[in-house]
Amino acid sequence: MNNVKPPITYEQQIAKLRSRGCIINNENDAIEILSKVNYYRLSAYFLPFKKQDDTYVQGTNFYTIYHIYEFDRKLRNIFFSAIEEIEIYLRAGLAYYHAHKYGALGYLNEKNYYPKHKHQDFLNKVEAEKDKRKKEPFVEHHKINKGDQFPIWVIIELFSFGMLSFFYSDLPVNDQKTIARSLFKTHQKTLRSWLICCTDIRNSCAHFGRLYYKSFSSIPNGIPELDYKNNRSLFGVTMTLKSLYPDMNKWNVEILKTITSLINEYQEEIQLNHIGFPDDWKIKLIK
């Protein structure tokens, strides 16, 4: 417990920021912001402006940091909207393919998977999801009226994005190839990497994680516009979402247009190199 820092007041938080070189012109406004956004959460957005001695580069302004935080918050909402479309499309495609090849309950048969598939672990996860959402009408209906039998097109609605990714990756290779070509016009290994990246970004968005000035752990394959400089950046994530997004026109009109408007709104506060966006990002993001 000796290593745990004691809590400090809003006034002390402001004094700490000022001691590191942060410009705060209106203390009352700053306190109001800190009362709504945890100091620890907001402090992460100072990282691009932090020097090795823990002070900030000259001119670092509290309100600039807060605007970057707001940019990040709004961008998460855009990404989450895009991921929703991808997730629903993936569920529909996987369920349709699997049902017509293996039958309504074929997902329960261990023989319908890749040899290294850990079937009991998978079934345990399925049961856990059923139990977690047991109060939902469609789950109760299938438990009571269908003898606890859930066809693939029903059970897949309980899968998280991570489970969808694992389900796809554990299918026989020929099935993976067919699905990758038919749904996303790509190679199965490429699709697996995209789904892992999409799972990571979805989890970040769902838990209100920071996207700005972040290096992501997953690397998307098969995207020529990315190189080692930006494949782990927010631009790499955005290109992955573009590659997975099922509707070209909707991406351009809804998602890309909204991203462009947001970047224009905060162009005085954000820096494109902080999110890995190249100068020609608009051209590269057109689907």
Q: What whole-number distance in Å separates Cα of residue 206 and Cα of residue 84?
A: 11
The verdict on residue 199 lying in a domain is yes
The pTM (predicted TM-score) of the whole model is 0.92
Answer with the one of 32, 60, 88 that is the final residue of a domain: 60
Q: What whole-number distance in Å separates Cα of residue 16 and Cα of residue 31?
A: 13
* pLDDT tens for each residue of the chain, 287 residues long: 567 889 999 999 999 999 999 999 999 999 999 999 999 999 999 999 999 999 999 999 999 999 999 999 999 999 999 999 999 999 999 999 999 999 999 999 999 999 999 999 999 999 999 999 989 999 999 989 988 999 999 999 999 999 999 999 999 999 999 999 999 999 999 999 999 999 999 999 999 999 999 999 888 999 988 887 778 899 999 999 999 999 999 999 999 999 999 999 999 999 999 999 999 999 999 98
Handedness of CA 112, 128, 206, 87 (dihedral sign): positive
| Same domain? 86 vs 46 | no
Contact 239, 227 (CB under 8 A): no
| Same domain? 132 vs 169 | yes
Residue 16: partners with Cβ closer than 8 Å, 6 or more residues away = 8
The verdict on residue 47 lying in a domain is yes
The verdict on residue 101 lying in a domain is yes
The verdict on residue 9 lying in a domain is no
| Same domain? 148 vs 273 | yes
> Token digits for 170?
């554990």
Residue type, 281: W
The verdict on residue 257 lying in a domain is yes
| Same domain? 148 vs 28 | no
Residue 35: partners with Cβ closer than 8 Å, 6 or more residues away = 10
Q: Nearest 5°: phi and psi at 206? A: -65, -30
| Same domain? 36 vs 76 | no
Q: Nearest 5°: phi and psi at 92? A: -60, -45
| Same domain? 99 vs 196 | yes
| Same domain? 116 vs 44 | no
Q: Nearest 5°: phi and psi at 28? A: -65, -40
Q: What whole-number distance in Å separates Cα of residue 74 and Cα of residue 68?
A: 10
The verdict on residue 6 lying in a domain is no
Residue type, 172: P
Alpha-carbon distances of 23 from 17, 19, 55, 89, 196, rounded to whole Å: 8, 10, 12, 47, 40
Using one digit for the tens of pLDDT, what is the confidence trace for 148-185? Answer: 999 999 999 999 999 999 999 999 999 999 999 999 99
| Same domain? 45 vs 134 | no
pLDDT at 1: 54
> Token digits for 191?
């699709």
| Same domain? 135 vs 212 | yes
Using one digit for the tens of pLDDT, what is the confidence trace for 3-35? Answer: 788 999 999 999 999 999 999 999 999 999 999
Q: What is the largest CA-CA distance in the chain?
A: 67
> How many domains does the chain fold into?
2
pLDDT at 225: 86
The verdict on residue 41 lying in a domain is yes
Range of the domain at 24: 15-60
The verdict on residue 2 lying in a domain is no
H or E element at residue 194: helix 188-206
Residue type, 215: S
| Same domain? 49 vs 133 | no
Half-sphere exposure of residue 181: CA atoms within 13 angstroms, side-chain side: 6
Contact 24, 33 (CB under 8 A): no
| Same domain? 122 vs 30 | no
How many residues in the chain? Answer: 287
**Core vs surface per residue 62-78: b (16+ CB within 10 A) or e:** bebbbbbbbbbebbbeb
| Same domain? 52 vs 85 | no
